[in-house]
Amino acid sequence: MNERLREVDHIEILTLMDNYVDVILDSTKIVRRANLAGNGEIFRDTLVGEHGLSLLVTARAGGRKHTILFDTGYSAVGVPHNMEHLGVEPGGIEAIVLSHGHMDHLGSLHGLLEKMARPIPVLVHPEAFVSPRYLTRKDGGRDRFPAMLDRGEIETRGGQIRETAAPTLICEDMILVSGEVERTTSFERGMPNAAVERDGKMEKDPIRDDQALFLLLKGKGLVVIGGCSHAGIVNTVLYGKKLTGARTVHAVLGGFHLAGPLFEPIIGAQSGVFPMPSPFHLCSAAWDRRTRLPLPRRNEHRLCIGLDTSTVACFKNLSEKLGMPYQNLINLYLRDCALNQRKLKLKRAS
């Protein structure tokens, strides 16, 4: 399959919700961060972080511009609050894409739909509506996921549900919604403690509704944006290459779901993603510190720490001046800093 994904000149990704907030980090040529102050005044209010994800994705090509929302965070108040603080008008959003049916990606959906000036499409995999879902515990018990997706509730608030497991081109073919991701790697086995009840029987939940976004940046390559990557971040990247025919992967960002004791055993995923010929990998806050640490040694020219491509070069230069091993300096940085991006801009090769 080769989806006819249109190349774009410019991609802008605004983080509306992530695990961490840090308003004192400096901006860079690639990343413009949220500020502590504006117009000579320190703000009374601030951005909030929560266990959830929401990204505003804007693509431009040939004088045309399209903006979509990818996921809506955990709480009903977090994303709307951050949008107001950042001056984002919901009326500019053309569609909402849901990465899957877990609560930490759906929380503000209803409230945001009510703020829209017009009905808008909501793209979702059919399995996202499946309920009840559970997380199993070591003691044999289980915790039930809240059922937060309801077709009637979405439609009542102006959402036009587009329910499909197939790859879907949107925004004049500038953005490709993956649909259900092919799973081909041996080491990415999903969420081991996820369960679902079907017809009164409990079974393992493969979270088939997991999906991602793909864009092609002119002169640079494939940009992959994951929500939780329950299908596996390597599977997701490989599927994006298969769908689009892209040879080069320029950027991989979003949620990778490799943090915590249940997922660290599959860190073999690193060897699948990071040797690929790509100069620009973006690790989100969900990428655990123990996952990050081995990467700079093997991929310092490809890893973007804190979403700043100049960071690695600065660390290497500083390590030489201080006489401190490069990896030790990286470890100190990761230990002492909360890494957070707010607005990322990617441009085509000139």
Lowest-confidence region among 4-8, 213-217, 244-248, 285-289: 285-289
Q: Are 55 and 15 in contact (CB under 8 A)?
A: yes
What average pLDDT is seen over the chain? 79
Side chain identity at residue 263, one-letter code: F
Q: Mean pLDDT throughout 160-185? A: 96
Tokens 């950042």 locate to 86
Q: Mean pLDDT throughout 282-291? A: 40
Confidence of residue 5 (pLDDT cuts 50, 70, 90): very high
Q: Mean pLDDT throughout 71-94? A: 94
Q: Mean pLDDT throughout 162-179? A: 97
Confidence of residue 263 (pLDDT cuts 50, 70, 90): low
* pLDDT at residue 261, as a whole number: 53
- Is the pLDDT score of 95 beyond 90? yes
Q: Mean pLDDT throughout 45-68? A: 93
Lowest-confidence region among 136-140, 211-215, 279-283: 279-283
* pLDDT at residue 348, as a whole number: 65
* pLDDT at residue 3, as a whole number: 56
pLDDT by residue (tens digit) across 291-315? Answer: 333 444 444 333 333 333 334 444 4
Q: Are 281 and 221 in contact (CB under 8 A)?
A: no
Whole-number Å distance between alpha carbons of 40 and 349: 36
Q: Higher confidence at residue 350 or residue 176?
A: 176
* pLDDT at residue 259, as a whole number: 52
* pLDDT at residue 182, as a whole number: 96
| CA distance readout (Å), 192 to 188, 221, 230 | 10, 33, 10
* pLDDT at residue 89, as a whole number: 93
Percent of the chain with pLDDT strictly greater than 70: 72
Number of Cβ within a 10 Å radius of residue 13: 26
**What structural domains and CATH numbers belong to the chain?**
7-347 (3.60.15.10)
Confidence of residue 218 (pLDDT cuts 50, 70, 90): very high
pLDDT by residue (tens digit) across 320-337? Answer: 555 555 455 444 443 333
* pLDDT at residue 107, as a whole number: 95
Tokens 């700043």 locate to 308
* pLDDT at residue 229, as a whole number: 87
Lowest-confidence region among 74-83, 205-214, 312-321: 312-321
Tokens 């809240």 locate to 146
- Is the pLDDT score of 66 beyond 60? yes
Q: Higher confidence at residue 145 or residue 281?
A: 145
Q: Higher confidence at residue 213 or residue 220?
A: 213
Percent of the chain with pLDDT strictly greater than 90: 50
Q: Mean pLDDT throughout 70-84? A: 95
* pLDDT at residue 314, as a whole number: 44
- If DSSP codes are grouped into helix, strand and coil, which group holds residue 297? helix
Which residue in 185, 181, 301, 306 sits closest to 253, CA to CA?
A: 306
Strands 303-304 and 281-282: parallel
Question: DSSP of 187-217, one letter per residue?
Answer: S----TTEEEEETTEEEE---TT--EEEEEE
* pLDDT at residue 281, as a whole number: 44
